[in-house]
Structure 1
Amino acid sequence: MSALIGDKGYDGDGFRAEIVDRGAKPVIPNKSNRVTLHSFSKRAYKGRNVIERCFCRLKDFRRVATRYDKLARNFLAAIHLAAIVAYWIN
């Protein structure tokens, strides 16, 4: 089953319904002021942190963060190089 993981900013009934209509399960925590609480997988939501850290690490490279490359293949190559360097450092 596929799931869409989002933060509290995407906690809306219309957005949740759209996700379900497209065949995915919403993994979105409830806002603090929400009246009707929805359940979500806290275990799956913790995986979001890993992805956020990966994007943050890639954005440390100026070329990737500002998207200097005009061609998609060059941009993808820059992402690959940045990922290799980021992996190599840690």
Structure 2
Amino acid sequence: MLEDGVYTEFTIIESRFEGKDLTAVQELQTSQRVIARGAVRDNLQAQISLAQHIEAIVGSGTGRGDVHMKNIRSTRRKEQSKRRWDYMKGTN
């Protein structure tokens, strides 16, 4: 850098820029920004798709069976009895 007639030498902090001139470094940085914007856009689209998928699953599960909190014990007993009966049929 030349400032007030005095030459000041800089050292490259990032090794990936070593041996490249200023225009090459600027082109690399520009392409990185473009890639980063694309990744942000893709990530946002993936999040939207996930939210839609979750909503579809939740929406399809609202009309599932006859499950009432009051009847959980009796329903459980019925299911256990049914499983036992099915097991007994299978062993004969």
Q: TM-score, normalised by structure 2?
A: 0.24
Highest CA radius of gyration, 1 or 2?
A: 2
Structure with the bigger percentage of helix:
2
Question: Larger RCO: Structure 1 or Structure 2 (Cα < 8 Å, ≥ 6 residues apart)?
Answer: 1
